[in-house]
Structure 1
Amino acid sequence: MEIEVLKEFKPKVVFSLEVEGFEIKIANSLEDLKLALELRHMVFLEEGLGRTHETGLDFDSFDQVADHLMIINLATGKAVGTYRLICSKFASHFYSQNEFVLDHFLQEEGVKLELGRACTHIDYRTGRTIDLLWQGLSRYITETGTRFLFGCSSMHTEDPAEAFSALKSLEARDGVSFEYQIHPTPDFQFPEAKTFHEKAIANPQILRSLPPLLRSYLHAGSKVHGYPAWDRDFECTDMFTILDLRVLNSKFAERYNPKWA
């Protein structure tokens, strides 16, 4: 995808909120979008993989059809957090479909919002930044009438034994569902996945090492659906998560949007 295509970018939903020295906003210009893509490049390519792209940006074809939630430090003007949001009101295909078969889920009634490419600047990886991102999500959900939040949540491992131990541990806590028959696409399947699942042993210690964002999804009431996917390009394991806002954790609802409670 050529960077020139991004010049055609237009937001689908627009808002801006100021909260204690930060601006929570949807990217509303090419300049805003580049700030988000620069942060993603820094986190996913430079930090995560030790790679760079000549543009200094992390982007793909889905960025054109997405909205981009941003957290801006008003003192520096820099983006310190971002989320890519793809809403079923404005798009018919999602990034997650590269990795998972979602046919049955996408037929379910209700507006669906894919959350992806979430990242924060290394100096702002705190609960506070995640809190700001959730405040932005709350506003976007209200604006679009979203019922389902979904997407890939990454674990920093390519070890199937570790991935399926995490899955088994979540199953023991009623955190896994096989509703909608979701499963990885052939290119993203772990070899012998069924065997690894059968032999996996629950290990609560693994759950403590899950990425903060995935933990926040689970705390909110999300479930992991189906087997994990192996993302060889980004050298990680992806869990597919769905949060039905009709069964959102009541404390979470009260904190971010009392209308959800």
Structure 2
Amino acid sequence: MQNGELARSTQRLIQMLRPEHVGTAAQAAMTWFKPPPATLGRLGALEVRLAEGKREVKRAQKLRYRVFYRDGTAIADAATLLARRDKDAFDRICDHLMVIDHAAKPSMSGRQPVVGTYRLLRQEVAERNGGFYTENEFDIASLIDRHAGLRFLELGRSCVLPRYRNKRTVELLWHGIWTYVRRHRLDVMIGCASFEGTDPGRLALPLSFLHHYAQAPETWRASAHPSRRVEMNRMAKEAINPKAALHELPPLIKGYLRLGAFIGDGAVIDHQFGTTDVLIVMPVSAISARYIEHFGVDATRHAA
């Protein structure tokens, strides 16, 4: 570079670094680092999106309180009753998926109602913050160790308002999860799914069906902690009526099975929520091809 060119280049750099130009340059640079949009998809008036900020997380927590405590069988402590929100320490580190109905009557604050939600926790975030929620009930450490090269996502706190428990809402929730999985390049989904009730004897048929027909192969298997484990194998396989058993499965568990999920070994009684929990293990590689085609390999079916 000649002396004249060097001088001109130096002068241009000095000009860019002057106060009146710094803001403009920084703004231009920041356009290359825009965070991904919160909206993950739309289906008619319904939108699936990630909660942004504490206020939106509180909206998801209020929906969970309504479904789990007010209308469900969960037992609230004093703090939960006062707050009228289902919350725990994991909420701070999770992403929260919300379905919003833009055609519904707005609340007093002018916001459209949240009608469905899911809580999402990526492995790298869990490992920085003490682990997964699922570890309270199931020994998943060995499962993760066996697949050390894969990235896990925990699904939890799923709930939908009764009038929205239909194909459209569930499909949009799954579209949101699939978009999130593709965006973060995740490989395996895990989480607890629940039966209402804490008497496993009354759940003998569906629990036995899951044990005999949907148990994870050894490489994907994880067991309930011995101190909390409840036997799922309560009926012989030949005594099971599969059609009747499927009828008794909660819609969420049936949905997981249709996608290609496996079930862990043993169940756990959750007395706070009044449920019997089973472990869901769903490798992305095991998801039925027809569902991937339905939502699109790159989650394009209901893209916003």
Report the TM-score when normalising by structure 2.
0.74
Report the TM-score when normalising by structure 1.
0.86
Moved more, 231-240 or 62-71: 231-240
Residue 258 (structure 1) shift:
2.7
CA distance in 2, matches of 1:239, 1:164: 13
CA distance in 2, matches of 1:240, 1:88: 17
Q: Say whether residues 1:103 and 2:141 are aligned partners.
A: yes
CA distance in 1, matches of 2:37, 2:152: 18
CA distance in 2, matches of 1:61, 1:184: 22
Q: Say whether residues 1:168 and 2:208 are aligned partners.
A: yes
**What residue identity is the alignment partner of 2:118?**
Y
**Partner SS, residue 210 of structure 2:** helix
* Structure 2 match to 1:54: 82
**What residue identity is the alignment partner of 1:49?**
T
**What residue identity is the alignment partner of 1:102?**
I
Structure 1 256/172 Cα, relative in aligned 2: closer, same or farther at 3 Å?
A: same
CA distance in 1, matches of 2:66, 2:296: 32
Gaps of 5+ in 1: 1-11
**Partner SS, residue 272 of structure 2:** coil
Structure 1 181/253 Cα, relative in aligned 2: closer, same or farther at 3 Å?
A: closer
CA distance in 1, matches of 2:116, 2:162: 10
- Say whether the 8 Å CA contact 1:158–1:235 is kept in structure 2: yes
Q: Say whether residues 1:38 and 2:62 are aligned partners.
A: yes
Structure 1 183/201 Cα, relative in aligned 2: closer, same or farther at 3 Å?
A: farther
* Structure 2 match to 1:225: 264
- Deviation per CA, 1:64-115: give whole Å up to 9, x if none: 1100000011133010000000111322211110011111112112111111
- Say whether the 8 Å CA contact 1:220–1:249 is kept in structure 2: yes
* Structure 2 match to 1:21: 45
Greater C-alpha radius of gyration: 2
CA distance in 1, matches of 2:238, 2:86: 35
* Structure 1 match to 2:21: none
Which structure dedicates a bigger proportion of its chain to strand? 1
**Partner SS, residue 182 of structure 2:** helix
The CA RMSD over aligned residues, in Å, is 2.3
Within 5 Å, give how 1:226-241 maps onto structure 2: 226-241=265-280
* Structure 2 match to 1:9: none
CA distance in 1, matches of 2:211, 2:73: 30
- Deviation per CA, 1:103-147: give whole Å up to 9, x if none: 111211211111100000122111111001011111100111011
CA distance in 1, matches of 2:61, 2:238: 37
* Structure 1 match to 2:193: 153
Residue 56 (structure 1) shift:
0.9
Q: Say whether residues 1:184 and 2:224 are aligned partners.
A: yes
Quote the sequence identity (%): 29
Structure 1 187/41 Cα, relative in aligned 2: closer, same or farther at 3 Å?
A: farther
**What residue identity is the alignment partner of 1:88?**
Q
- Say whether the 8 Å CA contact 1:25–1:69 is kept in structure 2: yes
Residue 47 (structure 1) shift:
1.0
Gaps of 5+ in 2: 1-34, 107-111, 300-304
- Deviation per CA, 1:22-73: give whole Å up to 9, x if none: 2211001111111100000000111112755210100001111100000011
* Structure 2 match to 1:140: 180
**Partner SS, residue 187 of structure 2:** strand
* Structure 1 match to 2:17: none
